[in-house]
Amino acid sequence: MSKKSSGLFTLITGAVVGAAALFLSDKKNRSKTTAAIKTAKKKYGDNPQKAVKDAVTLAKKETKKVKATSKKAVTKATSTAKKNVATSVKKRAEKTIKNTKKSSK
Protein backbone atom coordinates (compact mmCIF):
# COMPACT_ATOMS: atom_id res chain seq x y z
CA MET A 1 0.00 0.00 0.00
CA SER A 2 1.29 3.38 -0.89
CA LYS A 3 0.99 6.26 1.48
CA LYS A 4 -0.51 9.43 0.03
CA SER A 5 0.98 12.62 1.32
CA SER A 6 -1.18 15.69 1.34
CA GLY A 7 0.88 18.07 3.40
CA LEU A 8 1.51 21.75 3.27
CA PHE A 9 4.68 21.30 1.23
CA THR A 10 2.76 19.50 -1.50
CA LEU A 11 0.17 22.28 -1.58
CA ILE A 12 2.81 25.02 -1.82
CA THR A 13 4.73 23.13 -4.50
CA GLY A 14 1.58 22.74 -6.57
CA ALA A 15 0.78 26.44 -6.25
CA VAL A 16 4.30 27.44 -7.33
CA VAL A 17 4.27 25.08 -10.30
CA GLY A 18 0.85 26.35 -11.33
CA ALA A 19 1.97 29.97 -11.08
CA ALA A 20 5.07 29.23 -13.15
CA ALA A 21 2.99 27.46 -15.79
CA LEU A 22 0.58 30.38 -15.95
CA PHE A 23 3.45 32.89 -16.20
CA LEU A 24 5.29 30.93 -18.89
CA SER A 25 2.15 30.30 -20.94
CA ASP A 26 2.51 33.80 -22.41
CA LYS A 27 5.08 34.10 -25.22
CA LYS A 28 6.28 37.52 -24.01
CA ASN A 29 7.07 36.12 -20.58
CA ARG A 30 8.92 33.15 -22.08
CA SER A 31 11.10 35.44 -24.18
CA LYS A 32 11.82 37.71 -21.18
CA THR A 33 12.75 34.69 -19.08
CA THR A 34 15.04 33.34 -21.80
CA ALA A 35 16.76 36.71 -22.09
CA ALA A 36 17.23 36.91 -18.32
CA ILE A 37 18.76 33.43 -18.26
CA LYS A 38 21.17 34.30 -21.08
CA THR A 39 22.21 37.49 -19.29
CA ALA A 40 22.81 35.60 -16.06
CA LYS A 41 24.87 32.94 -17.87
CA LYS A 42 27.04 35.65 -19.43
CA LYS A 43 27.47 37.51 -16.17
CA TYR A 44 28.17 34.56 -13.87
CA GLY A 45 29.30 31.84 -16.28
CA ASP A 46 30.93 29.08 -14.29
CA ASN A 47 30.90 30.99 -11.00
CA PRO A 48 27.63 30.24 -9.21
CA GLN A 49 29.12 31.40 -5.89
CA LYS A 50 29.29 34.95 -7.26
CA ALA A 51 25.61 34.75 -8.18
CA VAL A 52 24.72 33.67 -4.65
CA LYS A 53 26.91 36.41 -3.18
CA ASP A 54 25.27 39.04 -5.38
CA ALA A 55 21.82 37.78 -4.46
CA VAL A 56 22.61 37.94 -0.75
CA THR A 57 24.04 41.44 -1.10
CA LEU A 58 20.95 42.61 -2.97
CA ALA A 59 18.67 41.01 -0.37
CA LYS A 60 20.50 42.77 2.46
CA LYS A 61 20.31 46.10 0.63
CA GLU A 62 16.58 45.74 0.01
CA THR A 63 16.01 44.63 3.60
CA LYS A 64 17.57 47.85 4.84
CA LYS A 65 15.29 49.86 2.55
CA VAL A 66 12.22 47.99 3.78
CA LYS A 67 13.19 48.49 7.43
CA ALA A 68 13.69 52.22 6.89
CA THR A 69 10.40 52.57 5.05
CA SER A 70 8.48 50.57 7.64
CA LYS A 71 10.02 52.60 10.46
CA LYS A 72 8.88 55.82 8.76
CA ALA A 73 5.40 54.39 8.23
CA VAL A 74 5.10 53.33 11.86
CA THR A 75 6.29 56.73 13.07
CA LYS A 76 3.81 58.53 10.82
CA ALA A 77 0.95 56.23 11.82
CA THR A 78 1.76 56.67 15.51
CA SER A 79 1.83 60.46 15.27
CA THR A 80 -1.41 60.48 13.29
CA ALA A 81 -3.06 58.21 15.84
CA LYS A 82 -1.90 60.45 18.70
CA LYS A 83 -3.30 63.52 16.93
CA ASN A 84 -6.60 61.75 16.31
CA VAL A 85 -6.84 60.67 19.94
CA ALA A 86 -5.99 64.16 21.16
CA THR A 87 -8.60 65.68 18.85
CA SER A 88 -11.18 63.14 19.97
CA VAL A 89 -10.46 63.75 23.65
CA LYS A 90 -10.61 67.51 23.14
CA LYS A 91 -13.97 67.29 21.36
CA ARG A 92 -15.34 64.99 24.05
CA ALA A 93 -14.16 67.36 26.79
CA GLU A 94 -15.72 70.35 25.03
CA LYS A 95 -18.99 68.46 24.66
CA THR A 96 -18.95 67.47 28.32
CA ILE A 97 -18.29 71.08 29.36
CA LYS A 98 -21.08 72.29 27.12
CA ASN A 99 -23.52 69.72 28.54
CA THR A 100 -22.48 70.59 32.08
CA LYS A 101 -23.15 74.28 31.45
CA LYS A 102 -26.58 73.46 30.02
CA SER A 103 -27.55 71.30 32.97
CA SER A 104 -26.39 73.88 35.50
CA LYS A 105 -28.67 76.62 34.08
Helix (H), strand (E), coil (C) string for 47-96? CHHHHHHHHHHHHHHHHHHHHHHHHHHHHHHHHHHHHHHHHHHHHHHHHH
pLDDT band at residue 99, thresholds of 50, 70 and 90?
Answer: confident
pTM of the model: 0.43
Residues 32-42: tens digit of each pLDDT: 999 998 998 88
Residues 47-74: tens digit of each pLDDT: 889 888 998 999 999 999 999 999 999 9
The pLDDT score that the predictor gives to residue 4 is 63
The pLDDT score that the predictor gives to residue 1 is 47
